[in-house]
């Protein structure tokens, strides 16, 4: 590229990454508000998470528009092309994480209108794992670190196991009760929404590996082993 075109391209690419960074901050904040609204029985926080979802949606549309503009105007190749395409995919996953936060907040509002039950605290370890996985995935993306992305991607297995264990525990509690089951059902859905956030965090790791190493591991048969090998290169 000519020098002035390269400068404009780099500026556009930096703006794209800046918008995705803003999206990541907003999505994590929405998730935190939704979970605090649940654990602290604060419906105002739930309402904030639901309302803020539109801001994430709007920014995702802006990222998509800018990304397409970059592709058409500059026609990047190799790593630059993967960076634009991968960043658009990360933005899409962040938008879906914000959707999950909104869904959690809506379930939390129902729970907050019900009598308190002690098992609500069982969701905290699942959320802690989810938040840790999301943070690790985003850090790997922002640092352009495929090895860290490969390691963070494997954390999803632990979150899946925690969600399934909570599901079994809550079902066992429900089987011992004859009434007041609504809150437990909503809590099971909250855990499933957190598990889906973990899936999107894993996707972000895969996007990072795609950008930095030109490897699309999403559809390989033995992704776990391939990522371990890739991380050691």
Poorest-confidence range of 3-12, 79-88, 170-179, 185-194?
A: 3-12
Task: Using DSSP, state whether 216 is helix, strand or coil.
Answer: coil
Residue 205: Cβ-neighbour burial (10 angstroms; 0-12, 13-18, 19+): buried
Q: Is 93 left (phi over 0), alpha (psi -120 to 50) or beta?
A: alpha
What are 131-144's pLDDT values in tens digits? 999 999 999 999 99
User: Where are the domains positioned within the chain?
Assistant: 3-231
Percent of the chain with pLDDT over 90: 88
**Residue 179 confidence class, pLDDT cut points 50, 70, 90:** confident
Poorest-confidence range of 6-15, 158-167, 203-212, 214-223?
A: 214-223
Write down the architecture of domain 3-231 according to CATH: Up-down Bundle (1.20)
Which residue did the predictor score with more confidence, 179 or 191?
191
Cα 227 to Cα 2, 139, 152, 197, 220: the distances in Å are 37, 17, 10, 20, 10
Q: What pLDDT, on the 0 to 100 scale, is given for residue 126?
A: 98
**Global confidence as pTM:** 0.91
């Amino acid at each position: 590229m000519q020098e002035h075109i390269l400068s404009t391209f780099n500026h556009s690419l930096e703006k794209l990454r800046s918008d995705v960074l803003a999206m990541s901050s907003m999505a994590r904040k929405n998730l935190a508000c939704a979970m605090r609204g649940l654990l602290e029985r604060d419906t105002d926080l739930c309402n904030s998470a639901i309302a803020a979802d539109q801001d994430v949606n709007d920014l995702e549309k802006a990222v998509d528009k800018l990304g397409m503009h970059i592709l058409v105007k500059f026609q990047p190749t190799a790593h630059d092309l993967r960076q634009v395409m991968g960043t658009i995919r990360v933005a899409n996953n962040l938008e879906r994480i914000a959707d999950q936060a909104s869904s959690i907040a809506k379930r939390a509002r129902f729970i907050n209108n019900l009598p308190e039950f002690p098992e609500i605290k069982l969701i905290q370890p699942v959320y802690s794992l989810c938040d840790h996985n999301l943070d690790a995935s985003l850090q790997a993306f922002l640092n352009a670190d495929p090895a860290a992305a490969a390691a963070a991607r494997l954390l999803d297995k632990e979150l899946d196991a925690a969600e399934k264990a909570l599901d079994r525990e809550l079902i066992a509690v429900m089987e011992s009760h004859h009434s007041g089951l609504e809150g437990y059902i909503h809590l099971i859905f909250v855990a499933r929404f957190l598990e889906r956030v973990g899936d999107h965090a894993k996707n972000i790791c895969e996007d990072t590996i795609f950008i930095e190493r030109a490897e699309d591991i999403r559809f390989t048969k033995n992704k776990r082993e391939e990522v371990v090998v890739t991380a050691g290169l």
